[in-house]
Structure 1
Amino acid sequence: MSSRSDQDPLSLPDGVSPEAFGAMLAELRRALGADAVLTGDDAAEFGDPYDPYDRDHVPSAVVLPSTVEGVQTVVRSANAHGVPLWTTSQGRNNGYGGGAPVVGGSVTLSLRRLNRIRELNDELGYAVVEPGVRFFDLAEACRERGGAWWPSSPSLGWGSVVGNTIDHGFGYTPYGDHAAHVYGMEVVLPDGELLRTGMWASTRSTSAHAHPRGFGPNVAPLFMQSNFGVVTAMGRPLLPRPEVYAPVTIRVARHDDLEPLVDAMRVLTTEGSIDNIANITSALGAASMRKPRRDWYDGPGPIPEDIYRDMMREVGSGWWNCTAAMYGPRAVVEAKFARVEQVVVGAIPDARVSVKFVPGDEAGGDTLENHRERIMTGTPSLEMLDTTTWWGEDGGHLEVSPIAPATGADATTIAGILRPIVEGEGFDLWASIYVMKRSLMYLAVVMFDRADPARVEAAYRLARRAYPALADAGYTPYRGNVRYMDMMQDTYDFNDHAMRRFLGELKDAIDPGGILSPGKQGIWPQRFR
Structure 2
Amino acid sequence: MSKQAPPPTLTEKYSGVPSRLAAIAQAAKDQLYSHKTVADSTPRRHNVRLPPDTTRAAFDEAIAALRQHLGADNVVLNDKPLVDGWYLEHPNTHDAFHVVDQEDLVSSAVAYPGSTADVQTIVKWANEYTIPIYPISMGRNVGYGGSAPRVPGSVVLDLGKRMNKILNIDAENASCVVEPGVSYFALYEEIQKRKLPLWIDTPDLGGGSVLGNAIDRGVGYTPMGDHFANHCGMEVVLPNGELLRTGMGALPGKNGTDNPTWQSFQPAYGPYSDGIFSQSNFGIVCQMGFFLMHETGHQSYMITFPRDEDFPEIVEVIRPLAQKHILGNIPQLRHVAQELNVTGLPKSHWYSGSSPLPRDLIRKHASQLPCGDCSWVFYGTQYGDAASIDSQLSMIKSTFSRIKGSKFFLPSDLPPDHYIHSRALVCSGVPVLRELDWLNWKPNAAHLFFSPITPTRASDAQVVHDINVHLHAKYGFDLFPTLCVAGREMHYITNIIYDRSSNDEKRRAAALMRELIAATAKEGYGEYRTHLLFADQVARTYSWNNNALMRFNETIKDALDPNGILAPGRNGIWPKKYRGKGWELLGDRVEKAVGGGTIAPKL
> Is the CA contact 1:20–1:82 (under 8 Å) kept in the aligned structure 2?
no
> Is the CA contact 2:171–2:196 (under 8 Å) kept in the aligned structure 1?
no
Question: How far off is 1:164 after superposition?
Answer: 0.6
Q: Deviations over 1:39-80 (max 9, x none)?
A: 234584221111272443211111111211111111111111
Q: Does 1:344 align with 2:344?
A: no
Range with bigger deviation, 413-422 or 162-171: 413-422
Range with bigger deviation, 457-466 or 187-196: 457-466
Correspondences of 1:45-444 after superposition (within 5 Å): 45=91, 46-51=93-98, 53-112=101-160, 113-204=162-253, 205-242=259-296, 244-290=297-343, 291-299=345-353, 301-317=355-371, 318-346=374-402, 348-355=403-410, 370-392=421-443, 394-444=444-494
Specify the alignment match of 1:471 in structure 2.
521
Figure out how many residues of one structure are paired with residues of the other and give that number.
514
In structure 1, distance between residues paired with 2:308 and 2:525: 22
Q: Deviations over 1:463-515 (max 9, x none)?
A: 12211111001111111111111101000111100111111111111111111
In structure 2, distance between residues paired with 1:64 and 1:58: 16
> Is the CA contact 1:135–1:153 (under 8 Å) kept in the aligned structure 2?
yes
In structure 2, distance between residues paired with 1:42 and 1:125: 44
In structure 1, distance between residues paired with 2:189 and 2:539: 37
Specify the alignment match of 2:500 in structure 1.
450
In structure 1, distance between residues paired with 2:341 and 2:301: 21
Range with bigger deviation, 32-41 or 160-169: 32-41
Aligned pair in 2 of structure 1 residues 83, 409: CA closer, same or farther (>3 Å)? same
Aligned pair in 2 of structure 1 residues 117, 312: CA closer, same or farther (>3 Å)? same
Q: Identity over the aligned pairs, expressed in percent?
A: 36
For 1:338, give the aligned amino acid.
S
Range with bigger deviation, 157-166 or 39-48: 39-48
User: Could you state the TM-score of these two structures normalised by the residue count of structure 1?
Assistant: 0.93
Range with bigger deviation, 257-266 or 146-155: 257-266
Specify the alignment match of 2:70 in structure 1.
32
Task: Give the match's secondary structure for 1:349.
Answer: coil
Q: 5+ residue gaps in structure 2?
A: 1-41, 83-90, 254-258, 580-603
Question: How far off is 1:272 after superposition?
Answer: 0.7
In structure 2, distance between residues paired with 1:115 and 1:239: 22
Task: Give the match's secondary structure for 1:264.
Answer: helix
For 2:97, give the aligned amino acid.
Y
For 2:166, give the aligned amino acid.
I
Question: How far off is 1:455 after superposition?
Answer: 1.2
Question: How far off is 1:18 after superposition?
Answer: 2.6
Task: Give the match's secondary structure for 1:370.
Answer: helix
In structure 2, distance between residues paired with 1:255 and 1:58: 42
Specify the alignment match of 1:360 in structure 2.
none
> Is the CA contact 1:3–1:40 (under 8 Å) kept in the aligned structure 2?
no
> Is the CA contact 1:253–1:319 (under 8 Å) kept in the aligned structure 2?
yes
Task: Give the match's secondary structure for 2:517.
Answer: helix
Question: How far off is 1:300 after superposition?
Answer: 5.7
Task: Give the match's secondary structure for 2:107.
Answer: coil
For 2:293, give the aligned amino acid.
L
Aligned pair in 2 of structure 1 residues 507, 300: CA closer, same or farther (>3 Å)? closer
For 1:71, give the aligned amino acid.
V
For 2:154, give the aligned amino acid.
S
Task: Give the match's secondary structure for 1:179.
Answer: coil
For 2:341, give the aligned amino acid.
S
In structure 1, distance between residues paired with 2:510 and 2:530: 11
Q: Deviations over 1:269-304 (max 9, x none)?
A: 110111211111112222112211111112364322
Task: Give the match's secondary structure for 2:401.
Answer: helix
Range with bigger deviation, 256-265 or 67-76: 256-265
Q: Deviations over 1:59-113 (max 9, x none)?
A: 1111111211111111111111000111111111111111111111111111112
Specify the alignment match of 2:48 in structure 1.
9
Question: How far off is 1:128 after superposition?
Answer: 0.7
Aligned pair in 2 of structure 1 residues 156, 41: CA closer, same or farther (>3 Å)? farther
Question: How far off is 1:461 after superposition?
Answer: 2.0
In structure 2, distance between residues paired with 1:39 and 1:441: 39
For 2:179, give the aligned amino acid.
E
For 2:361, give the aligned amino acid.
I
In structure 1, distance between residues paired with 2:77 and 2:309: 52
> Is the CA contact 1:327–1:333 (under 8 Å) kept in the aligned structure 2?
yes
Range with bigger deviation, 514-523 or 141-150: 141-150
Question: How far off is 1:353 after superposition?
Answer: 2.1
For 1:12, give the aligned amino acid.
P
> Is the CA contact 1:63–1:107 (under 8 Å) kept in the aligned structure 2?
yes
Task: Give the match's secondary structure for 1:478.
Answer: strand
For 1:373, give the aligned amino acid.
A
Task: Give the match's secondary structure for 2:368.
Answer: helix
> Is the CA contact 1:4–1:10 (under 8 Å) kept in the aligned structure 2?
no
Task: Give the match's secondary structure for 1:169.
Answer: coil
Aligned pair in 2 of structure 1 residues 212, 371: CA closer, same or farther (>3 Å)? same
Q: Deviations over 1:172-219 (max 9, x none)?
A: 111111111110011011111111111111123321101111011110
In structure 2, distance between residues paired with 1:338 and 1:375: 23
Q: 5+ residue gaps in structure 1?
A: 358-365
Question: How far off is 1:456 after superposition?
Answer: 2.0
For 2:471, give the aligned amino acid.
I
Task: Give the match's secondary structure for 2:377.
Answer: strand
User: Could you state the TM-score of these two structures normalised by the residue count of structure 2?
Assistant: 0.82
Question: How far off is 1:116 after superposition?
Answer: 0.5
Range with bigger deviation, 409-418 or 156-165: 409-418
> Is the CA contact 1:2–1:40 (under 8 Å) kept in the aligned structure 2?
no
